[in-house]
């Protein structure tokens, strides 16, 4: 449950608190994988967007957006 609390960054809903330990571990793993997938997709979308920026100013744009 501690890992789920860290991932939710809030108080867990009662229905999640009531989960058996094995199910809570499965949910935590699914959330970790979903965040990894989301991060990868966001990075790919960012790179695709940057391909529309003229090559000479890409480093400046990357710096401005924190990449």
The pLDDT value given to residue 53: 92
Domain of residue 22 covers 2-65
State the total domains in the chain: 1
The model's pLDDT over 37-67, given as tens digits with 9 standing for 90+, comes to 999 999 999 989 999 999 999 999 999 988 8
Q: Retrieve residue 39's tokens.
A: 């991060």
Instruction: Report whether pLDDT(26) > 90.
Output: yes
Among candidates 34, 56, 61, which has minimal Cα distance to 46?
Answer: 61
Check pLDDT > 90 for residue 34: yes
Mean pLDDT (whole number) for 18-46: 94
* pTM: predicted TM-score of the whole model, two decimal places: 0.69
The DSSP secondary structure of the chain, one letter per residue, reads: -HHHHHHHTSPPPHHHHTS-HHHHHHHHHHHHHHHHHHHHHHHHHHHHHHTTS-GGGHHHHHHHHT-
């Amino acid at each position: 449950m501690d890992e789920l609390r860290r991932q939710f960054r809030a108080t867990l809903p009662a229905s999640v608190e009531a989960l058996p330990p094995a199910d809570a571990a499965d949910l935590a793993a699914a959330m970790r994988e979903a965040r990894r997938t989301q991060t990868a997709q966001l990075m790919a979308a960012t790179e695709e967007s940057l391909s529309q920026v003229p090559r000479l100013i890409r480093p400046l744009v990357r710096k401005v957006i924190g990449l």
